[in-house]
Amino acid sequence: MYYSNGNYEAFARPVKPDGVDNKSAYMVGAGLAGLAAAAFLIRDGQMKGSNIHIFEELKLAGGACDGIHSPHVGFVCRGGREMENHFECLWDLYRSIPSIETEGVSVLDEFYWLNKRDPNYSLMRVSCNRGEDAQTDCKFDINDKAALQILKLFMTPDEELYDKRMDEFFDDDFYNTNFWIYWQTMFAFEKWHSALEMKLYIYRFIHHIEGLPNLKALKFAKYNSYESLILPLVRYLKAQGVDFQYDTRVTNVVFDIKPEKKVAKKIELIKKGQSKTIDLTENDLVIITNGCNTENSTLGDNDHAPDFSTKDGEGGCWELWRNIAAQDPAFGRPEKFCSSIKETNWESATVTTLDDRIPPYVQKMSKRDPFAGNVVTGGIITVKDSNWLMSYTFNRQPHFKAQPKNQLVGWIYGLYCIDVPGNYVKKPMKDCTGIEICEEWLYHMGVPVDQIHDMASKSANTIPCMMPYVTSFFMPRAEGDRPKVVPDGAVNFGFVGQFADTFRDTVFTTEYSVRTAMEAVYTLLKVDRGVPEVFSSVYDIRVLLDSTSKLMDGRKPIEVMLPSLFTGIAALKGKMDKNVVTKLLKRYNNV
């Protein structure tokens, strides 16, 4: 497997790998990573679909990319998916997945046309004082000390960030900036999360710094992530003859470990309550999704808070990974990610409006007609003075195909949900019913206090969802805590998803799931085509200069961080005016 960039590799079709007709494949998990791996096996590995088997412990594919409509519960999304134009592997996949709405076009075609016609941007990124615009004015508000803290993290080698927390690099000068409000709530970072992941995120998305304050960097699908991303992929795979086995929990993969090679020999699973074993040969590929950030998620309803009794490390995916990891140190350390629920949880809620009372407040906050079929909030609106650090979003409506035309479906989440009472509802978010979460949200939109309870209980259906491990992949880590996509010496297996380890990319993205899937398939089948490298904006001097200037709200970075050097440059100004370096610095507002 090798990385590539440019159209020469992007448009090429690889030759059929040797011996693929004699191989079969087993996917452990039907999340986006497992589904993508199956698609790459078919498209680029040219494996027969009938030779591919997908095991999923739930009754539905998609993993964290969900969106369900239950007659007994209502509409539910545990979260949404923010995407951008340089998710190279994601778009490489979806250029080949047929649309289920428009004959003759791909999912990528639809997505591209939609976001060209209706580009995303926010008209109110941050609110305060019960529904007022916080007037952040697209400013980052970074002082000199905070700027130097960011620079220090940016320049620190990865190995010096192993097991380091963010709060070992930053203090209140940084945490009090608008930058941190934008960053924390968009990506769900906490102060105790990995400094390494923070650095990788800055590297990965530095080309979008300008778009952070108004979210114009983001792109969204037409509907929820299940109907927009998962369902077309599942239908494509089924049309190719792929075998889906739901209600099937894999409990272990048994390996034969030798110094020179590692071979998966057996899959142990429980299917509809019955234990079963599948013996494997070296021609049987096993692609394992190890770990899951939505494991043990629980739902409440209008009248009940979700259960929050999961203990550290509980959950089928963690049990599977522990059983695998016990066989070889190269298979990672799951305990680094699942052993502190108090640091990895937050709660979301799906709210559905039922009449015409709440939509005017959504329109007030978004500054758009929410029923127009276009961008509404343009990403999350963060309530700056919320005790729960509440954010909420309404994407293009309808958000579900089955959604009635007179209803809106939105999504709320709180980062501080365990032990902090709300501003209106005087108890922690985790203890709140759907009605109470809706009340807190309505309060922050400026609904008159005497109307809040009646509106929350009669004009909305609110389904809370507690996720104990939702940011588990952000926990401080070191080399080897995550297994390589294909471990050294592995013959017929690989790891995919958010807890597999690949070079330079960032977790908590659809791209990471698809990238690990592509790398696993290309490595195991020796597919002779390059995997698109992570977009290299961090190595583009133009992006670095421009982003630095934007972060400083237009101030000259050299003046702020290197005043003595600036004085020297000023003294030589006459000699440097025609220098190509000086022209570059001027073009991007650095001098």
pLDDT in tens, 380-410: 999 999 999 999 999 999 999 999 999 999 9
| Position 534 pLDDT exceeds 70 | yes
Band of pLDDT at residue 572, cut at 50, 70 and 90: low
- Residue 456 is inside which H or E element, if any? helix 449-458
**pLDDT (0 to 100) of residue 12:** 92
Helices (H), 304-408: 316-325, 335-338, 341-344, 359-366
| Alpha-carbon span 25 to 268, nearest angstrom | 15
Band of pLDDT at residue 565, cut at 50, 70 and 90: very low
Band of pLDDT at residue 554, cut at 50, 70 and 90: confident
**pLDDT (0 to 100) of residue 559:** 65
Return the structure tokens found at 57: 């412990």
Interval 138-190: pLDDT, tens: 999 999 999 999 999 999 999 999 999 999 999 999 999 999 999 999 999 99
| Alpha-carbon span 516 to 508, nearest angstrom | 13
Return the structure tokens found at 304: 């009940």
Q: How many residues are recorded in the chain?
A: 591
Residue with tokens 């085509």, as numbered in its chain: 529
Please list, in sequence order, all residues whose beta carbon lies within 8 angstroms of the beta carbon of residue 51, skipping any fewer than 6 positions away. 23, 24, 25
Return the structure tokens found at 306: 């979700």
Sheet holding 409-414, edge to edge: 132-133, 126-128, 381-383, 390-393, 409-414, 346-353, 460-467, 298-299
- For 3-110+221-298+307-339+476-532, the fitting CATH number among 3.50.50.60, 3.40.50.1470, 1.10.8.420, 1.10.10.10 is 3.50.50.60
| Position 579 pLDDT exceeds 80 | no
Interval 410-420: pLDDT, tens: 999 999 999 99
Return the structure tokens found at 184: 């924390």
Mean pLDDT of 309-333: 98
**pLDDT (0 to 100) of residue 577:** 61
**pLDDT (0 to 100) of residue 564:** 47
Interval 421-480: pLDDT, tens: 999 999 999 999 999 999 999 999 999 999 999 999 999 999 999 999 999 999 999 999
Residue with tokens 């998609």, as numbered in its chain: 62
Domain ranges for the chain: 3-110+221-298+307-339+476-532, 539-587
Q: Which residues are marked as active site?
A: 82, 201
